[in-house]
Amino acid sequence: RRKNSTLYIYVKWIINSSWFSALILVTVTVNAFMLALQTDYKTQYQLSGMMQVDTAPRNRLMKNGFCVYIAPFVYHYIVFNTSKQLLLMTILVLRGLTCYCGLHNILILFPLKSDLLSIANWTKMIVWYSGTEALMTALVKTIKSVMYVLTLLFLLMYIFAIMGYYYFGDPDTGAPMHWGNLGSAFFTLFSLVTVDGWTDIQEELDRLGFEVSRTFTILFILLGYFLFFNMFIAVVILNIQQATEHFEKKIQIEREVALNQKKHNILVHQQEEVQKLLKNQSNNASNYENVGDILKRFKKTLHHDDYTITYDISASLSAADIYLSTLDRQDKTI
């Protein structure tokens, strides 16, 4: 049990507030813009002082600290949060070694520098957009289904790569550039799968006089491109469509819940007003008018030709108009 409950509530309010998320979003965007400016040497030289100001790691550290303070045990059970913490600590350590320890020459040996690691912070921007988050969730779920299709495609390419190596990979009479080894054969088959530049490959085989090359190419394109490659695209589209429908259904449910809650609040408020009016009337009957008299006067204001909107389809205005027009047509035909 927390002793400082007031601070806990205040920090939780800061984390859930929209302006704090907007601050993090603006900071990450400015950081990405600064990294883009550093790619130009002239701009980097002119804005060298501004380039040193980078508040993204500090803001990320502040938010992570707040999250750990609010839910210290739940926060670390999420793999994404743990990897985010490790990434942030790595960035801070590398920048500390660079700025304060002067270890520029040693850090050159590391393939992952702090600026490159900062790019991974941009993935956090996905969470702030519910539509993009739903799309990324669908893509992650698609990986499992796609792996089966890719495995079958890899086996097909492996079989055709071996066949292509033995048929067309001879260094003297074949095409060793495309079929000389297993690696080049896989790269050539990848071009055939994407149907990109396959005519040049087939033209070279025709020039060398391989009679079975056209059958080989057509068969692989039919199986690899028209079957497996299109199956891969179909699986991705199907999963994205299902995720989109689930996201739209979730948004609709949230809207209905909010509308029902609003109706409930209005109903509760009206009941409280009526109870308050009845209580005041019973306590001081001389100053308050009888509720029954108010309802009677309201009833007298109603007329038989007043429109009444109901939820029943048969009692709606459009249904009544259709019914009246149907009766008019019956009168004309009889």
Could you tell me the CATH number of the domain that includes residue 196? 1.10.287.70
Q: How far apart are CA 317 and CA 22, in angstroms?
A: 47
Number of domains in the chain: 2
How high is the pLDDT of residue 219?
Answer: 92
Give me the pLDDT at residue 160, please.
92
Q: Are residues 121 and 207 in the same domain?
A: no
Give the E-state strand segments of the chain in sequence order: none
Residue 160 lies in a domain: yes
Whether 102 and 191 share a structural domain: no
> In angstroms, what CA-CA distances link 301 with 37, 188, 222, 295, 298?
72, 85, 78, 10, 5
Same domain, 10 and 123: yes
Q: Are residues 98 and 136 in the same domain?
A: no
Q: According to the model, what pLDDT value does residue 94 have?
A: 61
Q: What is the pLDDT at residue 110?
A: 45
Residues in the chain, pLDDT under 70: 1-5, 7-8, 10-11, 15-16, 21, 24, 28, 32, 35, 38, 43-133, 281, 284-291, 302, 304, 306-316, 334
pLDDT value at position 106? 47
- What are 251-258's contacts with CB under 8 Å, separation 24+? 251/130
Q: What is the reported pLDDT for 312?
A: 62
For position 72, what pLDDT does the model report?
A: 54
AA identity, residue 277? L
CB 179 within 8 A of CB 162: no
Check whether residue 52 and residue 161 sit in a common domain.
no
CA distance 177 to 179: 6
Note whether 27 and 121 are same-domain residues.
yes
Tally of CA atoms within 13 A in the half-sphere of 32 that contains its CB = 13
Pair 163, 246 in one domain: yes
Q: Does 272 reside within a domain? A: no
Domain membership flag for residue 280: no
Q: What is the pLDDT of residues 40-50, one digit of tens each?
A: 777 666 666 55
In a domain, 245, yes or no: yes
Domain-embedded: residue 314: no
Q: How many residues does the chain have?
A: 334
One domain for residues 196 and 147: yes
Please report, as a single letter, which amino acid is at residue 244: T
Inside any domain, residue 230: yes
pLDDT in the model for residue 247: 82
Residues spanned by the domain of 28:
5-128
- pLDDT value of residue 159: 92
Q: What is the CATH number of the domain that holds 13?
A: 1.20.120
pLDDT score for 155: 92
pLDDT value at position 111?
Answer: 42
Both 9 and 111 in one domain: the answer is yes
- Read off the pLDDT of residues 264-313 as tens digits, 9 standing for 90 and up: 888 888 888 878 877 776 776 556 666 677 777 777 776 767 666 666 66
User: Quick check: is 318 in a domain?
Assistant: no
- Pair (137, 68) in one structural domain: no
Residue at a domain's end among 101, 128, 155: 128
**55 and 10, same structural domain?**
yes
Same domain for 88 and 60: yes
**102 is a domain residue:** yes
